Structures are given as structure tokens and as C-alpha cells.
Amino acid sequence: MKDVLAFVMAGGRGARLMPLTQDRTKPAVPFGGIYRLIDLPLSNCINSQVYKIIILPQYKSQSLNDHLEDGWNIFNQKLGHFLKIVPPQQRIGLDWYRGTADSIRQNLYLIERYRPSHVLILSGDHIYKMDYSLFAGYHQEREADVTISLLEVGTELAHQFGVAEVDEEFRILGFQEKPREAPKTIPGDSSHVLASMGIYLFRTETLVEVLTSGNEVDFGREIIPNLLNSHRIYAYPYRQQNKIEDYIYVTMPDGERQLRLEPHTRDSAYWRDVGDLDAYWNANMDLTGVEPYFNLYGQRWPLHTYQTAAPPAKFVFATERSDGFRVGKALDSLVAPGCIVSGIVRNSVLSPNTIIRSWAQVDESVIMDRVVVGRHCKIKKAIIDKHNIIPPRTTVGYNPSEDRKRFTVTPRGIVVIPKGHFKEEE
């Protein structure tokens, strides 16, 4: 995909992810122990051979900038490959980026400089694996001006998304913004709708034309609906078309399980917008278990990130006369390098350099880097941001009314402890 220039929108405030976004932009929020949210679309680009990438940050971007500079300095300028971070520069006015379309408009000079045949527009805070080369092939086969990746979701969820109305060839005829009643369903499938994923592929001529002829600020709400009668706009049915091949275990007719190269159905269909704290917790929990809903261990579709210089994780087993056995276990959990586990961890995600002290219990929780969970603590269904030293015998997640007095508690009952709340171990 030599002629594709990718723009990654990375300026989200992430207000519904507070307090995790108190000091960082949404795409910089940690995920899966060692990653940041932005690593997912960037890895998709690399794996799809999209090597010309421009990041458009805006709010609280220093953490994001540091991560990109430290972990994504992998491009060969001699081959024309690059990753550039382009904040608002007020080149055409006094505004910051006002929306997705406006952020591209303010950087049209970069499109003129690199002269791509197509422009790929992505969100920097969604969790999914997608082969953009298949997306581009679909777009070119239909001679489309714009192609939008759309997710097949049940009609009961239509009110959460922008929903496209399509014909039998999946050409987009109309667009409904979060319809409450009678959403337009997929032809031949009355139980599902096509919901926008915020992923667009434009012919460059079309994109430049619409951005220079108007002042619209958003692709989904304004530009796409305005183009329906004048341009060829197609829907890319994500779950039908996206195929991520990887080595997976397949059960043979005789019951034997063999490792074979096959399309990984779960990864090919998975997509999450971590729009709020409950969705963020759910996405992390999707990584745990024997057969996770989203697989981080694929060999053919690796996820790239900055690798922390830390020793291997350590699990402690020893005895002490006064308190009995000290056993370090992690069950159905992800444990990052640098962790020392002396307690019991179940169905959780531990980021680098986390310490779970003796006789502590951590269940269904997301623990970020450099957190110490003190002895005899009981932590359940929590998100603990970095640089926290949890005092011994602290209980979190077992008494919602008490938790609400000190912390954010989500509608689902997830307790969120902000960065640096506990300063010293008692």
C-alpha cells in the first residue's frame, strides 16, 4: 500500500475515561499490560504495509508523544516510510482541531507534499485487528470515492452508533445518527445494522475537493451525508470482509487439536470503542481466560509497542513461621515484565513493575505500572492507575458505598483509583 497516507486521530479528551485521562490523552491510556490504545491502529498499519503515518494529537499529549518517540522510531526514511506527530499549528486560522474533517483540512499541505492516491483516516483509541489492504482492495474493486468500515451489530444497539442504509451492493444510500426507532437494517438481515467504526478511505481527489469547498468539521455527521447524492460511497462490512490469518488450534474430526494457519474468527470480528470506564475494563477482561475474546499472542499479526526495560515476572513461594505459606499465583491473567507476585491474582491484567505482596488477593482488576498492593489487601473489579502504594489490609471492590466515598465507581461497580492516590505504604 505504497500510495496510502494514514491519518490517526489522537486528540480525544476522553472525558468519560476520567480519572485515567486526567494527565493523558485517550489514545495514550494503557491497555493490556504493556500497550497503549494507539498501539492497536498503528500495529494494524504496519501489518497492512501502510508505512506513511501522521498522528494528529491535541489535548494532554505529552505522554502520547513520549510513547511514540520511544517505541515507534522504527521507520526507514530512505524508503519513504515515516511516522510524524503533527499538533495544531494554526496554519489556516486561530482554531485548534475542531473535528475529524477540520483536522485534515488544517493539514492539507501534507497531502499535497506526499501526493498519495488514497488517504486512510483512523481513530487512535479503538481496539481491533484489521487488514487495511483488504479494505483498500474492496474500495478499489468498487471504484469508490469513499469507503467506510462498518460494524455489523444487533438492532438493539443501533441507538449507540451512526447507522448506514445500504443497497444490495453495499453502496451507502443514507445515514442515520443514533436512531432510536426503526433503524435501517442490512439487506437480507433484519436483525443487524451497519454501524460506523470511524474508519474512512478516501480517494485523494475527493477528499481535497470536499475539504476545500466547504467548512464542515466532522466526517460522520456532516461530510459523508453531504456526499451521498454526488459520490460513490460504499460500506465495508467489517465482520464479513476482514480476515486475520494466524496460527490457531483447530479440533480435528478425531478430537485431536492441531496448530494450523487459519482465519482467526474472534480477532477478525472483534472491535471495541473504549468510550467509558466500564468499556475499558471489559476490553481488558476480554484478554484473560483460556480462549480470550481478543488474542495478544498471534504470530502473524503482532502488536507493536515500546518495550519497557524490566526483568522477567517473578512468582514467590516461601514460608514464614508466623503467617504460614506465602504463595504467588496468577490464574487466567496477563502479567507484564518486572512484576513480583507473592499473593493470588485471578482474571486480571498487571502492567510492568507491579508488586503484589504476600497474602494479597487481586481479582478481575486492571493494575497499571509501578503499583504496590500491600499485604492482605483484597482488590476486586478495580482499575488502579500507576504510582499507587496500596496500604496493607486495604479492601477495594467489596463495599460499593464505602468505595464511592473515596473513589470513582462506575455503573457496573468498577472502582477506579487515580494515579498517585496512595502515596506511601503504611
Contact of 153 with 65, CB cutoff 8 Å: no
Residue 364 or residue 299, greater confidence: 364
In a domain, 100, yes or no: yes
Arithmetic mean of pLDDT, 308-337: 84
Identify the DSSP state of 107. Answer: T
- Same structural domain, 318 and 221: no
**What CATH number does the domain containing 140 carry?**
3.90.550.10
Arithmetic mean of pLDDT, 117-123: 96
Q: Which of 241, 259, 283 is the last residue of a domain?
A: 241
For residue 387, give the C-alpha cell. 504510582
- Same structural domain, 343 and 232: no
In a domain, 157, yes or no: yes
Q: Label residue 426 by pLDDT band (50, 70, 90).
A: very low
- Same structural domain, 33 and 149: yes
Total domain count for the chain? 2
**Residue 20 contacts by C-beta under 8 Å, 6 or more apart in sequence?**
14, 29, 277, 280, 383, 385, 416, 418
**What integer pLDDT is reported at residue 253 of this predicted model?**
80
Residue ranges making up the domain that contains 382? 314-417
The separation between CA 36 and the C-alpha centre of its own chain, rounded to angstroms, equals: 8
In a domain, 117, yes or no: yes
Whole-angstrom distance, CA of residue 19 vs CA of residue 408 = 8
In a domain, 102, yes or no: yes
- Same structural domain, 203 and 68: yes
Tens digits of residue pLDDT in 12-65? 778 899 999 999 999 999 999 999 999 999 999 999 999 999 999 988 889 999
- Same structural domain, 67 and 203: yes
pTM: 0.92
In a domain, 187, yes or no: yes
In a domain, 330, yes or no: yes
Whole-angstrom distance, CA of residue 9 vs CA of residue 56 = 5
- Same structural domain, 327 and 229: no
Q: Label residue 320 by pLDDT band (50, 70, 90).
A: low
In a domain, 306, yes or no: no
SS3 content of the chain, % helix, strand, coil (to 5): 25, 30, 45
Whole-angstrom distance, CA of residue 396 vs CA of residue 293 = 26
For residue 423, give the C-alpha cell. 502515596
- Same structural domain, 343 and 225: no
In a domain, 293, yes or no: no
Q: Reply yes or no on whether the pLDDT at 397 is more than 80.
A: yes
- CA–CA distance from 376 to each of 103, 233, 300, 338, 390 (Å)? 50, 58, 41, 21, 11
